[in-house]
């Protein structure tokens, strides 16, 4: 799969904007906003475009804060494996709006809906929301959903 961006808007109260995926990969799960990189784009341009398309927020590439470089690995299905480059953003214009892909909602960082998110999110999302920058690999079973292991390290 092409590499992907993943953006988590954080407001002045520390709340995190998640979107419930209405179609495609991760259907029904709450996640950050993002998608596959397109030809000719940088990952930051991809992140800004997907954020706008999926929830209407308009951010500038320079306001994205790199928070994690993840690799979602499926040894049974190498075509599925892909990177997820994760950003936080605190500056934007516009207001969250429902799109055909995502239904956005603000969450307190202490009450994230991990039981309805990708399985490994509970391992790394709290770390980046506390200001850590991480690099890691998350290993998935053949079903592309069950997590079989992970390794994270802090980025300098
Ligand atoms: C596998 O583990 C994952 N965990 C998390 N938290 N997020 C993930 C995982 N795998 C992918 N993602 C993210 C990365 C992207 O933000 C989306 C997937 O992108 P999508 O398939 O929706 O890409 P689009 O380009 O928007 O899709 P279309 O081709 O349908 O336009 O999930």
How distant is the alpha carbon of residue 63 from its chain centre? 16
Pocket test for ligand 1, best of 24, 41, 146 (most atoms within 8 A of CB): 24
Q: What are phi and psi of 94, to 5 degrees?
A: 90, 175
Distance 20 CA to ligand 1 centre (A): 12
DSSP H helices in the chain: 43-55, 121-129
Q: How far is it, in rounded angstroms, from Cα 9 to Cα 32?
A: 8
**How confident is the model over 103-149, as pLDDT tens digits?**
999 999 999 999 999 999 999 999 999 999 999 999 999 999 999 99
Q: How far apart are the first and last CA of the chain?
A: 28
Decide: 53 and 132 in contact? Cβ < 8 Å: no
What is the phi-psi region of residue 95: left when phi exceeds 0, alpha when psi lies from -120 to 50, beta otherwise?
A: beta
Domains and CATH numbers, the chain: 4-154 (3.90.79.10)
| Tens-digit pLDDT profile for residues 41-74 | 999 999 999 999 999 999 999 999 999 999 999 9
């Amino acid at each position: 799969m092409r590499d992907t961006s993943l953006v988590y808007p954080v407001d002045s109260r520390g709340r995190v904007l998640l979107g419930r995926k209405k179609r495609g990969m991760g259907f029904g799960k709450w996640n950050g906003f993002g998608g596959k990189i397109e030809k000719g784009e940088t990952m930051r341009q991809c992140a800004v475009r997907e954020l706008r398309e999926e929830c209407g927020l308009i951010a500038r590439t320079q306001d994205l804060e790199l928070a994690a470089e993840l690799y979602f690995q499926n040894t049974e299905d190498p075509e599925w494996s892909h990177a997820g480059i994760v950003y936080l953003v605190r500056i934007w214009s516009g207001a969250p709006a429902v799109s055909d892909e995502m239904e956005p909602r603000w969450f307190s960082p202490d009450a994230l809906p991990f039981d309805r998110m990708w399985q490994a999110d509970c391992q790394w999302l709290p770390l980046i929301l506390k200001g850590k920058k991480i690099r890691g690999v998350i290993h998935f079973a053949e079903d592309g959903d069950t997590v079989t292991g992970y390794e994270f390290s802090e980025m300098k």
